[in-house]
Amino acid sequence: MATKIKWVAVGIGVTLAVAACGASGPAKVEQDAGAPLELWTRTTPGGDGEKGMKKLAAAFEKATGTKIEVTAIFDDFETKLSQRAAQKDLPDIVMNDSSQLGTMVTQGIVREVDLAKITGSDQLLESALAAAKFSDGKTYGVPYSAQASALMIRKDWRAKVGLPAPADLTQFVALAKAFTTQDPDGNGKNDTFGLAVPGSTKRGYASWYFSNFLWAAGGDFVAKQPDGKYKPAMSTPESVAATKWFRDLACTEKVVQPGAATMDTPPTNETFESGRAGMYVVGPYLMPRFDASLGKDKYEVVPVPKGVKDSTVLAEGGSAYLMAGSKNEAGQNAWASWIISPDAQKLGMEGEKAFNVQLPVNKNVDVSAVRSDPRWKVYAEVYRDHSRYAPSIPNWTPVRQASADTINALIADCGLDVAAELTKLDGKLADALKQQGISAS
């Protein structure tokens, strides 16, 4: 390389320090438009996700002539990425969660995306593109897949108890109670519950799940201010009311599966598919699994019932990150343009499991044109009309983790005072915001 780039390890991440950097930013690496691309995807090696990404890569090579090598990594992904950064040898492209944008930008390992060089970027859904913007207003990722939460219900159980699919929270609780008390599986035992909840602190699952109810109630973890800064928001009346309602599901109504406070998603998935819980708020990626284990005739997918304010649920997805230091930026741009094209979006949705594109982010692609299953249309409509992403602050992880710790404690210990615990949580969130330089106080 003509220009040397120094990478300094910081914790599990890295910070980019450029040897020669003026007002215009880092000096460019000498470019080679013929250089092959190295792509890392966060998925299980040898699994269907890797196979699907390789299928997309093969189609990209055929369409552009640019070689691209796919590497699937799941365990210790961040650590291995940091190691490559320290070696001054990052992959050219990383396919990772959209929620990782703030962390990766703060680490300095991704370059800004020039949307004028990404063919088709004007066809991206506004919500997906907004999630690729950092707090400085610049774009650092190219979204290629989206998903949102909807409510899975044991349809056969609902028929047994004679209740409608819930349209509001009152009906939701009534159905959860019926599933808990009316022996919907007909085995004569008191062994069913209304709602499957991953309430563990691991990776912030309790907070991740609760967000689907918090936002719909008008509450929030942190609230953005007119100046672009943030204030803690978990002790507001709306957030306190939402937390009490959610906590009551476990402590008062007792419709949540036992042990929820210790469960992350794998055991919670098993809770639903094994017939221990009758409802589960989750994304579309589990449908292939539940179709196989339960049978698609046994459950249905409907929007999460409207909350006190609206029907806002969590939106997530994947983005293509163009890594700093690449000697083939033209190839990076070509991949980003390809992955959001109608052809790639449709190809990524094909198949029966482990889709690389859950829901399309290209506004000209209709999920129903690829998948005739009407449940996918439910998810697509929820995503477009009733979802939001976590804010792209420098590091969302400490906010999610601190919130998860508190939510977990509240459902594990029914004697704790909700308002008092949320006030303590706001103190922790205030510290996290200050450390990131985005506190409004």
Predicted confidence (pLDDT) per residue in 396-432, tens digit: 999 999 999 999 999 999 999 999 999 999 999 999 9
Whether residue 25 lies inside any domain: the answer is: no
The residue among 395, 410, 339, 440 whose CA lies nearest residue 102 is: 395
Across 94-107, average pLDDT: 93
Check pLDDT > 70 for residue 180.
yes
Which of the listed residues 388, 404, 419 is the one where a domain comes to its end? 388
Residue 310 sits in the same domain as residue 161: yes
Residue 178 sits in the same domain as residue 305: yes
Residue 114 sits in the same domain as residue 170: no
What's the CATH code of the domain at 287? 3.40.190.10
Q: Where are the alpha helices (DSSP H) in 182-286?
A: 205-214, 237-251, 265-273
Whether residue 441 lies inside any domain: the answer is: no
Residue 291 sits in the same domain as residue 176: yes
Q: In whole angstroms, what is the distance from residue 214 CA to residue 403 CA? A: 12
Residue 376 sits in the same domain as residue 327: yes
pTM, 2 dp:
0.89
Domain that holds residue 201: 150-314+393-435
pLDDT band at 86 (very low <50, low <70, confident <90, very high): very high
Residue 431 sits in the same domain as residue 331: no
Whether residue 306 lies inside any domain: the answer is: yes
Whole-number pLDDT of residue 135: 86
Q: Look up residue 305 and give its two tokens.
A: 């019932």
Length of the chain equals: 441
Whole-number pLDDT of residue 266: 95
Q: Which amino acid is at 408?
A: N
Whether residue 22 lies inside any domain: the answer is: no
Whether residue 66 lies inside any domain: the answer is: yes
Residue 143 sits in the same domain as residue 200: no
Residue 159 sits in the same domain as residue 137: no
Residue 127 sits in the same domain as residue 244: no
CB 250 within 8 A of CB 414: yes
Q: Where are the alpha helices (DSSP H) in 89-236?
A: 101-107, 126-130, 155-161, 169-181, 205-214
Computed over every residue of the chain, the mean pLDDT equals 92
Whether residue 253 lies inside any domain: the answer is: yes
Whole-number pLDDT of residue 354: 60
pLDDT band at 187 (very low <50, low <70, confident <90, very high): very high
Residue 139 sits in the same domain as residue 229: no
Check pLDDT > 70 for residue 65.
yes
Whether residue 24 lies inside any domain: the answer is: no
Whether residue 251 lies inside any domain: the answer is: yes
Check pLDDT > 90 for residue 22.
no
Whole-number pLDDT of residue 352: 77
Q: How does pLDDT run across 281-299, given as a tens digit for each residue?
A: 999 999 999 999 999 999 9
Check pLDDT > 90 for residue 27.
no
In the block, residue with structure tokens 């209304």: 194
Find the farthest-apart pair of alpha carbons in the chain and give their distance in angstroms, rounded: 75
Q: How does pLDDT run across 305-342, given as a tens digit for each residue?
A: 999 999 999 999 999 999 999 999 999 999 999 999 99
Ordered DSSP codes for 200-233? --GGGHHHHHHHHHHGGGT--SEEE-TTS-EEE-
Whole-number pLDDT of residue 128: 95
CB-side exposure of 212: number of CA atoms within 13 Å? 22
Q: How does pLDDT run across 241-263, given as a tens digit for each residue?
A: 999 999 999 999 999 999 999 99
Check pLDDT > 70 for residue 25.
no
* Overall number of domains in the chain: 2
Residue 303 sits in the same domain as residue 374: no
Residue 326 sits in the same domain as residue 294: no
